[in-house]
Amino acid sequence: MTSVRIPAGWPATEEQARAVQDELRERVVLDEMGPPSGAGRVTGVDVAYDDERDLVVAAAVVLDAASLDVVAQATAVGQVSFPYVPGLLAFREIPTVLAALDALPCAPGLVVCDGYGRAHPRRFGLASHLGVLTGLPTIGVAKNPFTFSYDEPGAHRGSSSPLLAHGPTGEEEVGRALRTRDGVKPVFVSVGHRVGLDNACAHTLALTPEYRLPESTRLADSLCRRALKEATP
C-alpha cells in the first residue's frame, strides 16, 4: 500500500477549491467518443474513510474489459486532504486516488469512478477532476442522482432517461439514469473526460452482467474496505 502526503499548495478553503474547479473545468474534453466498450482495460476507483483517524484509503482495480477478470490492483492511504463540503468531495480524495493509480503496474485504460462527472452542481465532479489531472478517459457511475431530476426509465435492462439540471436558461442533460438490471433502481451515468455519454452508458452496461453496480466499482469498493482495515489497527 502506498502512503500519501497532502500535496504542497493543496486548497485549504472552499474559495480556493472552487477557483481550482473553475480553472480545471475549462480543460474537460467533451468531444471524444472514448475507447470502445468491451475492449482493452477498465479501471474502477473507490475510497473508504476512517473518520476517527482522519484517514482515506483509495483502491484502483484494473479489469480486462472483455472478460472482467482482474488484471492488476493497487491501494494507497493518506490523510483526508479537505473538510467535508458538498460539491467539493473530490478535494478529499484526489491525492490518494492518484497515488493508487500511479501504483498500478499497467496502464488503466478507461477509469470508472463511484461518483459524478458532469452530473455535478459545478459540472466538475470527481470523474472530471481525475480525468483532467491524468489525461485519462473517465466516467462517473453514481448510486443516486445528486440534485438532478429524471423520469423513471423503462423497466428493462438498458433502458435510460436523461438526467436533467434545471436552470434559468432551461434544462441541461448532465447524464443519464440507466437501468442495469430488470426492475432494479437505475444507476446515474455521467461523462468525466474524453468519453461521450452514449459510450459511457455502453461501458456501464458491459460492466454490469450480474449486478446493479459495475464490477469495477464493486471490486474497488471491496478492496479499499479491506485495505482500510489493514491500515487501521
Q: What is the DSSP string of 122-147?
A: TS--HHHHHHHHH---EEEEESS-TT
Q: What is the pLDDT of residue 99?
A: 96
Q: How confident is the model at residue 3 (pLDDT cuts 50, 70, 90)?
A: confident
Q: Are 177 and 160 in contact (CB under 8 A)?
A: yes
More confident residue, 104 or 232: 104
Q: How confident is the model at residue 2 (pLDDT cuts 50, 70, 90)?
A: confident
Q: How confident is the model at residue 45 (pLDDT cuts 50, 70, 90)?
A: very high
Average pLDDT over residues 173-182: 98
Residue 232: pLDDT over 70:
no
Which CATH number does the domain 32-231 belong to among 3.30.1490.100, 3.30.2170.10, 3.10.20.90, 2.60.40.420?
3.30.2170.10
pLDDT in tens, 47-64: 999 988 889 999 999 999
**Which residue matches cell numbers 435510460?**
160
Average pLDDT over residues 116-137: 97
Least confident of 157-171, 173-187, 205-219: 157-171
**Which residue matches cell numbers 482495480?**
61
The number of beta carbons lying within 10 Å of the beta carbon of residue 6 is: 14
Residue 74: pLDDT over 70:
yes
Q: Are 61 and 43 in contact (CB under 8 A)?
A: yes
Q: pTM of the prediction?
A: 0.95
- Please state the φ and ψ torsions of residue 220, each to the nearest 5 degrees: -65, -40
Type and span of the H or E element at 79: strand 70-79
